[in-house]
Each structure stands twice: as C-alpha cells, then as structure tokens.
Amino acid sequence: MAAVQQTLDAVKALEVDRYVHGFVTDIETEFAAKGLDADTVRFISAKKAEPKWMLDWRLEAFARWQAMEEPNWAKIGYPAIDYQNLYYYAAPKKKVLLDSLDQVDPELLATYAKLGIPLREQETLAGVKTAPRVAVDAVFDSVSVATTFKAELAKAGVLFMPISEALHEHPELVRKYLGSVVPVSDNYFACLNAAVFSDGSFVYIPPGVRCPMELSTYFRINAENTGQFERTLIIADRGSYVSYLEGCTAPMRDENQLHAAVVELVALEDSEIKYSTVQNWYPGDAEGRGGIYNFVTKRADCREARAKVSWTQVETGSAVTWKYPSCILRGDNSSGEFYSIAVTNGRQQADTGTKMIHLGKNTRSRIISKGISAGRSSNTYRGLVSSHRNAKGARNFTQCDSLLIGKECGAHTVPYVEAKNAHSVFEHEATTTRLSDDQLFYCQSRGLSTEESVALLVNGFVRDVLQELPMEFAVEAQKLVAVSLEGSVG
C-alpha cells in the first residue's frame, strides 16, 4: 500500500506543478450581472459607449443566437453549458492609460512576469528603450489595457488598437469589415460572440505597407467564471504584409470556462497575412475537470487577386478545442496555408482542422496537420477542401499525420473533399502511427532518457509545422509540445 500511496502523491505533486500558469491575479473586476439577456448586451455596448448601429448589430445577433442550437457534430463531449450561469463582461476597474507605463497596475506587470510573457515584451512594458520590436496588445480579461509601440506603428500608418477604440476612431473601417468574413449568424458560437464580444484587437495595414514589426496579442482569461469573447479584425490593404502572433495562457480554476472568440482576416490584392497562434490554456486536471472550452471561429477572406493568408497554430491546451481556421480563396491566384500542431494529453479533446474554399481561378492551398494524442485524449482533424465551378486551376495539397502515444487515446481524420470542376487538383494524404519502438530504443541506446527520446522524436514529427512559426515563437512552441507530453510514456 505504501508504494501505491507514494505513487498517488507523486502524481498529485505533478498535477500541481504541471500547470505553471495556474494562478489568479487579484485585480478588482467590474462585472456585468451574471446571465445573458438583451440587457446584458445593452450593458456591454453602453460600457463601451458604442454607436447605435453597433448596439443594433449586437441585438440582432443576440436575437438570432436565441433561435440557434448548439452544434453537436464534432467528436467532443462536455457537460451542457449553462449560458445563464456565466458573466459576460469583466473589465479591470483601474483604467490604465495606454501611453504611460507608470500607470500600469503593478499587479498586472506581476501577472505578465508570472505568465512568462517572453521577456522582451516585459522589457517593452517596463519601458526599456532597446527592447526588441514586437508590439503587444495585451487583452487582460476582455479589455486591452496596454498597447505599445503605437507611435512607431502610427508612423508606418498601421492601426493596431483594441477594437472598442477602433469603433470610435475608425468607425467606417470597422463598420465596413466587421462581420464581413464571419457573418453574424455563421454558427452558434460566432453568433454568441457577435452579441456579447467585449473587446479584441483591430489591425489595419494601409496599402503597400510592410508592417515594421510583428504584432502580438496575449489573451488571458482571468476573472473567475468569465467567458471570454474576443473579436479580432485584421485588414491587410493592397500590397501590404503583416505577421500577427496570438499566444494564450489562463489560470487554474474549478469551473469550466467558455471561450468563444471570432477572428476575421481580410486580405486585399497582393497582400499577405501571417497569423500564428500558440494556445496553452488550462486543460483541466487528470480527469479533465476545470479546463477551458475553446470554441473559436477563425476565418480569412482572400478577397482580391494574389492575396495570401497563412495560419499556423500550436494547440496544446484547453479541455475542449473546436476550431477550424479557414480561408476563402475568392481572389484569382490567391493562396491559403494551414499549418497545425495539436497535442492532446490527459482527458483533452480537440476537434480541429481547416476549410479551404476555392472560388477564384488558380487558387492554391496547402494543409499540413500534425496531431499527437497521449493519455486518454481524443484528437480529430476535420477539414474541408472544396472548389467552385469557376475555380479553374485550383490546387490543394493536404497532409495529416497522427501520432498515438498510449493505448487509451484516439486519433481521427475526417477530411471532406468536394471538387466541382475538371481543372482542379486535390491531393490528400493521411497516416496514423505510434511512436516507433525502434526509434525510441535507438535514442535510449544513445543515452537519452525516455522522456528526452519522446521529446526528440515528437519534435521531428512536428518539424514541418514548427518551421512555419516566427522564430521566437517556434522555440516556445517546441518547449510547449515537450512539456505537454511529459509523463505520457513509461
């Protein structure tokens, strides 16, 4: 018995240590009353002093949402969500001005420190002049509290600000593009988001401008019981380029949290948007309790000729992930890319993939998806590649590889291919295997521990995707993948 107890203790200890981002910062938060009705929507809109058209837009979304049903086709299972038992708005009370670091709440800075927000951004926040050039728009519990590098971006003409601010400063842009990629009633969660989204990032790159730095947002769920509804809108005007990084961490807590974000990308003629995500939200304890529900709608519209959008994602967190970053290839010769690493361990469930909708001539897309399941998790790739009658010369290449570690996990591949003209070529390949014993043995015979061997082999497995990430992100992601799989073998 002693040995059993010892094991139990060891496992418990692991669990506590495992999620290093599990902490709650004590900042006074102003809540909207629990529950959701038209008044909640009005409250959020009023809090943001939004124009009338925006409120109407939200109310319409809310009305539609009430008539919709939660989708159930994904290979995920979770207890029913009580949408009336959530807070829909929480803003830090101490309004922090954007231009002065002295006014940033020290607690907040401490949070960043604990988060291990890559130090260069810490330095940036601390006002170090020589800090590397990465702009951060940190979304701390629904309201962006600090935006850096605004001046330099302004010099280039780049608009990078919270969407609530953009609503006041550039209403014409927001009104023109908001909801133009993901319509209000696109799906259940996107519709909910449209009704109650609190804040998010807004980016506009003017014609011909190459954004002078990588833009970065750290999403952070903080207040207990607050669903986070972010809305991101990125517009790359003709001939522009932008690389956008999104990284996520969240504190440990008892109740499941809902996260239903919407990301809309608009790429005009000759522009390019590179969108990279590292998602490391709390996956729940060993039984899957308390993890984040991540129901995200991400879609890019290559609206004009030769536009290019590239999605790269590293998904290691959340109890449940439901996410399909997609590209609508409307412009002739436009192209879309999707590179994904999804790691599930413990009781995690991920149903993720992409949609490539070929509408324009000579449109190209490329999908590389690497799924790794360990423990008792379930990992599904679900993708759609379709070509319209007019999409002559459409070309797609898809590769989905799954790696299984352990006897109790699942890996699924559900690709949909719909070809509607004789001039498109679609190729799809998928493999599912386990970690090779031979390779493990070889590594171990070279003196590596089991865990190091697994990390090395997995690293090789996901390399194709890692190289698509911006460099500093790639290093983090590599570590994240290894950490996520700790304890899955042996």
* Footprint (CB under 8 A) of other proteins, residues 455-474: none
Closest CB to other proteins among 414 and 456?
Answer: 414
Among 414, 448, 456, 483, binds other proteins (CB under 8 A): 414
Q: What is the DSSP string of 184-248?
A: TTSSHHHHHHHHH--B-EEEEE-TT-B-SSEEEEEEE--STTB-B-BEEEEEE-TT-EEEEEEEE
Q: Is 422 in the site for other proteins (CB under 8 A)?
A: yes
Block residue for tokens 């102003």: 30
Closest CB to other proteins among 260 and 409?
Answer: 409
Distance of CA 48 to the CA centre of its chain: 24
Closest CB to other proteins among 71 and 127?
Answer: 71
Which region among 115-123, 174-182, 250-258, 403-411 touches other proteins (by CB under 8 A)?
403-411
Minimum gap (Å) between residue 460 Cβ and other proteins: 18
* 12, 161, 299, 419 from 137: Cα distances, Å: 36, 7, 21, 41
CA distance 277 to 244: 8
* Footprint (CB under 8 A) of other proteins, residues 75-114: 75
Q: Is 416 in the site for other proteins (CB under 8 A)?
A: yes
Among 222, 312, 348, 402, binds other proteins (CB under 8 A): 402
Closest CB to other proteins among 251 and 375?
Answer: 375
Closest CB to other proteins among 114 and 392?
Answer: 392
Among 109, 224, 392, 487, binds other proteins (CB under 8 A): 392
Element (H, E) at 41: helix 38-47
CA dihedral sign, ordered 47, 170, 136, 61:
positive
Q: Pick from 382, 315, 397: which is nearest to 351 by CA? A: 382
Minimum gap (Å) between residue 431 Cβ and other proteins: 4
Nearest-5° Cα angle at 436, 435 to 437: 115
Minimum gap (Å) between residue 293 Cβ and other proteins: 22
Spatial neighbors of 260 by CB under 8 A, at least 6 apart, are 189, 190, 192, 193, 227, 228, 229, 295, 296, 297
Asked if residue 265 lies in contact with residue 301, where contact means CB atoms within 8 angstroms, the answer is yes
CA distance 377 to 347: 5
Other beta carbons less than 10 A from residue 360's beta carbon? 25
Asked if residue 317 lies in contact with residue 476, where contact means CB atoms within 8 angstroms, the answer is no
Closest CB to other proteins among 37 and 429?
Answer: 429
Q: Pick from 362, 317, 312: which is nearest to 337 by CA? A: 312
Q: Is 433 in the site for other proteins (CB under 8 A)?
A: yes
Among 123, 412, 476, 486, binds other proteins (CB under 8 A): 412
Which region among 3-11, 180-188, 354-362, 432-440 touches other proteins (by CB under 8 A)?
432-440
3-state class of 52 per DSSP? helix
* Footprint (CB under 8 A) of other proteins, residues 345-364: none
Among 55, 156, 419, 448, binds other proteins (CB under 8 A): 419
Closest CB to other proteins among 47 and 412?
Answer: 412
Q: Is 70 in the site for other proteins (CB under 8 A)?
A: no
Element (H, E) at 293: strand 292-302
Among 429, 441, 446, 450, binds other proteins (CB under 8 A): 429
Minimum gap (Å) between residue 402 Cβ and other proteins: 7
Minimum gap (Å) between residue 218 Cβ and other proteins: 35
Q: Is 427 in the site for other proteins (CB under 8 A)?
A: yes
CA distance 478 to 459: 7
Q: Is 169 in the site for other proteins (CB under 8 A)?
A: no
Q: Is 174 in the site for other proteins (CB under 8 A)?
A: no
Among 93, 420, 446, 479, binds other proteins (CB under 8 A): 420
CA distance 103 to 442: 55
Asked if residue 232 lies in contact with residue 259, where contact means CB atoms within 8 angstroms, the answer is no
Minimum gap (Å) between residue 309 Cβ and other proteins: 23
Asked if residue 174 lies in contact with residue 163, where contact means CB atoms within 8 angstroms, the answer is yes
Among 432, 451, 456, 470, binds other proteins (CB under 8 A): 432
Q: Is 62 in the site for other proteins (CB under 8 A)?
A: no
Among 12, 434, 446, 463, binds other proteins (CB under 8 A): 434
Total number of residues that touch other proteins (CB under 8 A): 36
Q: Is 47 in the site for other proteins (CB under 8 A)?
A: no
Minimum gap (Å) between residue 342 Cβ and other proteins: 15
Closest CB to other proteins among 268 and 405?
Answer: 405
CA distance 490 to 479: 20
Closest CB to other proteins among 254 and 427?
Answer: 427
Residues at the site binding other proteins, with contacts judged by CB under 8 A: 73, 75, 389, 392, 402, 404-434
